[in-house]
């Protein structure tokens, strides 16, 4: 995903790829926050719930970078 940003030939391609990347990260942040708070917190001791969307967004960006998207 990041490579497609660098390889964009026109500004419209770049903006399209950037929009898709931002949407993927925001949607995954909402899903991550929901799953973290509803599934992981009740079943794993020592895991605290995510209280803000910023925490979920930062975790989502970290996961995206590690996965290579």
Q: What is the pLDDT of residue 38?
A: 94
Q: Where are the domains of the chain?
A: 2-67
pTM for the structure as a whole: 0.72
Q: What is the pLDDT of residue 43?
A: 92
- Digits of tens for pLDDT over the chain (69 positions)? 667 767 878 888 888 888 988 888 889 889 999 999 999 999 998 989 989 989 988 888 888 788 876
Distances from the Cα of 29 to the Cα of 43, 45, 55, angstroms:
20, 22, 9
Contact present, 33 and 53 (Cβ < 8 Å): yes
Q: In the 8-state DSSP scheme, what is residue 60?
A: H
Cα distance between residue 49 and residue 38, in whole Å: 9
């Amino acid at each position: 995903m990041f490579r497609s940003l660098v390889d964009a030939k026109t500004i419209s391609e770049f903006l399209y790829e950037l929009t898709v990347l931002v949407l993927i990260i925001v949607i995954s942040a909402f899903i991550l926050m929901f799953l973290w708070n509803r599934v992981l917190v009740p079943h794993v001791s020592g895991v605290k719930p995510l209280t803000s969307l910023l925490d979920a967004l930062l975790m989502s960006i970290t996961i995206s970078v590690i996965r290579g998207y």
